[in-house]
């Protein structure tokens, strides 16, 4: 079912005309998961996002679906167990969006933890995942470890362990949830901001929204409202209350990632490194690049545009240089291809409020207002499905009895996400689908492999669109594997409305290419404007938007907010 900017006027009409059981504010993973869960249970649902879907924290994470080894160290066995179970569900229900990834933890002479201690910790981790089919961890002596990961720094290396977790594309995970909600009848609209509820007192009747594409005001009738505004939760609660909350719900913490070329750091495994302050930093292998992240620092700057400072970048590069031997010598600031910075919406009040951010738990808070509002904040990508089900349960308590007839329990623990619905059962579903697609569609393994990895079983429809598009199968840039037809898919099926939506969140073009992307920005803008049905003159604005994004994500000198 198509979901594009061409459908937006129709969706806005539905917002004006219908009365919804639930209006979700925020199109990150939390809001998207809630909209999908509620729609699948049979509620009438609208979701509004003031920017693009996943434009907040949900496109700026480390993109891991993980149990969280360090929660184990903090003694939070419950959280690890819950996360590991959710990881297993996603590996099964969305194998294109949760792919197994092996991690190596090297142990050096100066390391805080010995191989023995890690072996013990990972035995508990494996036990929590027992029966899930994920490979168990293994300890290695120095030489065997180096055979697995030759780029590990040799001096002082004693040995290490290997374990398994999963890697995702966070923005595409959000999109899959939004698309499923859309298919199930929910009205999900980007560039629409929640401004205030109405009436000002008593049970809620709906909300006043602002269409940010033309400044117009829209009133939507809704029986309940969920605020899922991530780092903006305090601001959203202020809009609901009509005044600033007395006590903040969120403590913002900034997390930065830097991307370097795979030719400098061609890792076979993710590597778990220990920064000088003891924090864990990952080196993560991606198809074309290697990602280093993340930092975790208290943040008081503007929530809309956190930036990567020189000290953030140096912290990550120095940590990588201390654990790895990059090809061609030490990694320097000039090696940074692209960056991203995100704000963790750490919920205050779930744990020790006074500790530094690194100790703060990722658990979430859910608060209900009997007037008809539920607020959810905190949590993590990995456990979004559980958070969504719990939030919808809280919404049901606020709905009138007649609206609850026929409402189902949450079905999301067993329903595949879009892109997994036509994958074959059994082991290696992506590989089997790719081989079948090569035969069925007469295409190469390279084309099918890339499309299946990104789009799952939608890959053959994406290929059809590539073939129906002029130069659709041509790579956008040599060596990137991403083809022009995929940009058209982003516009026609995934509601991309501008070039940043396309090149940062629907496709990892910016992360892979950084400044190289500037060469094709005018051509991308011309094509995207055409597919969106905009006047050709708007192409220049689209191009300027992406150039501004690239500029804003350059490494900057240290600032006062950090
Ligand atoms: P967001 O994604 O920020 O969504 C909130 C949305 O609300 C925004 O898009 C915003 O535009 C919208 N909004 C705000 N106000 C309004 C309004 N008035 N009207 C309409 N819309 C509004 N978790 C993991 O499980 N694995 C990881 O590897 C991981 N790594 C991380 C690394 C970093 C650096 C960070 C910062 C976080 C990481 N997390 C990870 C945590 C995870 O990314 C977040 O918990 C999650 O993305 C938060 O999603 P959200 O939907 O609550 O918030």
pLDDT digits (tens, 9 = 90+) for 132-145: 667 889 999 999 99
Rounded distance from Cα 387 to ligand 1 centre (Å)? 13
Q: Is 360 in the pocket of ligand 1 (CB under 6 A)?
A: no
337-356 average pLDDT score: 73
Mutate to test the pocket of ligand 1, among 381, 386, 387, 553 (most ligand atoms within 8 A of CB): 381
How many CB atoms sit inside 10 A of residue 242's CB?
10
**Which is higher by pLDDT, 364 or 522?**
522
C-alpha dist (Å) from residue 271 to 114, 142, 167, 169: 16, 15, 13, 19
Residues 456, 458, 464, 470, CA torsion sign: negative
* Sequence-separated (6 or more) residues with CB below 8 Å from residue 187: 11, 14, 15, 18, 20, 45, 46, 47
Flag whether pLDDT at 161 surpasses 70: yes
pLDDT, position 353 = 37
The residue whose C-alpha atom lies closest to atom 15 belonging to ligand 1 is: 229
pLDDT over 90 (residue 356): no
Question: Is residue 230 within 6 Å of ligand 1 at its C-beta?
Answer: yes
> Could you report the per-residue pLDDT of 434-454, keeping only the tens digit for each?
999 999 999 999 999 999 999
CA-to-CA distance for 481 and 65, rounded, in angstroms?
A: 24
Is any ligand 1 atom within 6 A of the Cβ of residue 456?
A: no
Parallel, antiparallel, or unpaired for β 45-49 and 187-190?
Answer: parallel
Q: Between 76 and 417, where is the model more confident?
A: 417
When mean pLDDT is compared across 35-49, 50-64, 360-374, 511-525, the lowest value belongs to 360-374
Question: 178-182, 249-253, 495-499: which has the minimum mean pLDDT?
Answer: 249-253
Please answer whether residues 147 and 31 qualify as being in contact, where contact means their C-beta atoms are separated by less than 8 angstroms: no
- The reported pLDDT for the residue numbered 130 is 75
* Overall average pLDDT of the 484-508 stretch: 98
Report whether 162 contacts 148 (CB < 8 A): yes
28 lines ligand 1 (CB under 6 A): yes
Across 33-62, average pLDDT:
98
- Confidence bin at 359 (pLDDT 50/70/90): very low
| pLDDT confidence bin for 73, thresholds 50/70/90 | confident
Q: Is the pTM of this model over 0.75?
A: yes
- What average pLDDT does the segment 354-365 reach? 53
pLDDT confidence band for 410 (50 / 70 / 90): very high
Q: What is the pLDDT of residue 79?
A: 83
Whether pLDDT at 358 is above 50: no
Nearest CA to ligand 1 atom 6: 26
The mean-pLDDT minimum among 182-191, 295-304, 347-356, 537-546 falls in 347-356
Across 96-123, average pLDDT: 92
The contacts of residue 427 (CB under 8 Å, 6+ apart) are: none
| Cα 560 off chain centre by | 27
pLDDT digit string, tens, across residues 318-336: 999 999 999 999 999 999 9
Residue 350 scores a pLDDT above 50: no
Q: Is the pLDDT of residue 426 over 90?
A: no
Which has the higher per-residue pLDDT, 154 or 128? 154
| pLDDT for residue 70 | 75
Q: Assess whether pLDDT exceeds 60 at residue 38.
A: yes
Pocket test for ligand 1, best of 62, 240, 251 (most atoms within 8 A of CB): 62
Q: Work out the angle at residue 203's Cα, subtended by the Cα atoms of residues 202 and 204, and round it to the nearest 5 degrees.
A: 115
Tell me the pLDDT band of 191, cut-offs 50, 70 and 90. Answer: very high
pLDDT at 294: 96
| Segment 377-395, tens digit of pLDDT | 999 999 999 999 999 999 9
User: Is 125 a pocket residue for ligand 1 (Cβ < 6 Å)?
Assistant: no
Tell me what percent of the residues of the chain surpass a pLDDT of 70.
96
């Amino acid at each position: 079912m198509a979901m594009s900017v061409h459908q937006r006027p129709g969706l806005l009409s539905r917002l004006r005309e219908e009365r919804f059981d639930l209006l979700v504010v925020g199109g990150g993973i939390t809001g998207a998961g809630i909209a999908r869960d509620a729609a699948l249970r049979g509620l009438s649902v609208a979701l509004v996002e003031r920017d693009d879907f996943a434009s907040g924290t949900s496109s700026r994470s480390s993109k891991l679906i993980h149990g969280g080894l360090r929660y184990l160290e903090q003694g939070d066995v419950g959280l690890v167990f819950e996360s590991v179970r959710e990881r297993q569900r996603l590996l099964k229900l969305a194998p294109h969006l949760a792919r197994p990834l092996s991690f190596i933890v090297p142990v050096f002479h100066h390391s805080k933890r010995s191989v023995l201690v890690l072996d013990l910790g990972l035995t508990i981790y494996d036990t929590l995942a027992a029966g899930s089919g994920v490979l168990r961890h293994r300890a290695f002596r120095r030489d065997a470890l180096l055979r697995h990961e030759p780029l590990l720094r040799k001096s002082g290396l004693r040995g290490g362990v290997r374990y398994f977790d999963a890697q995702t594309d966070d923005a595409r995970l959000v999109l899959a949830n939004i698309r499923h909600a859309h298919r199930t009848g929910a009205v999900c609209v980007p560039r629409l901001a929640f401004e205030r509820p109405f009436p000002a007192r008593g049970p809620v009747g709906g909300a006043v929204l602002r269409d940010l594409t033309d400044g117009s005001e829209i009133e939507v009738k809704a029986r309940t409202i969920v605020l899922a505004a991530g780092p903006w939760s305090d601001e959203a609660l202020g809009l609901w209350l009509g005044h600033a909350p007395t006590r903040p719900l969120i403590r913002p913490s900034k997390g930065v990632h830097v991307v370097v070329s795979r030719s400098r750091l061609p890792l076979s495994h993710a590597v778990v490194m220990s920064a000088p302050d003891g924090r864990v930093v990952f080196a993560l292998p991606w198809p074309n690049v290697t990602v280093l992240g993340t930092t975790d620092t208290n943040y008081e700057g503007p929530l809309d545009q956190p930036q990567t400072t020189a000290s953030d970048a140096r912290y990550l590069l120095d940590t990588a240089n201390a654990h790895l031997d990059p090809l061609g010598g030490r990694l320097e600031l000039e090696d940074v291809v692209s960056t991203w910075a995100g704000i963790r919406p750490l919920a205050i009040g779930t744990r020790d409020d006074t500790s530094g951010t690194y100790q703060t738990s990722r658990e979430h808070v859910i608060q209900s207002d009997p007037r008809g509002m539920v607020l959810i904040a905190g949590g993590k990508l990995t456990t979004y499905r559980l958070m969504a089900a719990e939030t919808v349960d809280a919404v049901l308590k606020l709905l009138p009895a007649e609206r609850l007839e026929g409402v189902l329990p949450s079905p999301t623990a067993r329903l595949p996400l879009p892109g997994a619905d036509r994958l074959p059962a059994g082991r290696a579903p992506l590989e089997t689908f790719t081989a079948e697609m090569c035969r069925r569609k007469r295409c190469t393994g390279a084309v099918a492999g890339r499309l299946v990895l990104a789009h799952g079983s939608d890959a053959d429809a994406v290929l059809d669109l590539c073939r129906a598009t002029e130069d659709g199968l041509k790579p956008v840039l040599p060596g990137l594997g991403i083809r022009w037809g995929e940009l058209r898919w982003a516009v026609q099926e995934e509601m991309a409305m501008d070039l940043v939506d396309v090149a940062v969140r629907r496709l990892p073009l910016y992360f892979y290419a950084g400044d190289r992307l500037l060469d094709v920005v005018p051509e991308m803008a011309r094509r995207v404007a055409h597919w969106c049905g905009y006047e050709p003159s708007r192409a220049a604005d689209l191009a300027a938007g992406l150039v501004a994004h690239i500029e804003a994500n350059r490494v900057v000198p240290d600032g006062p907010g950090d």
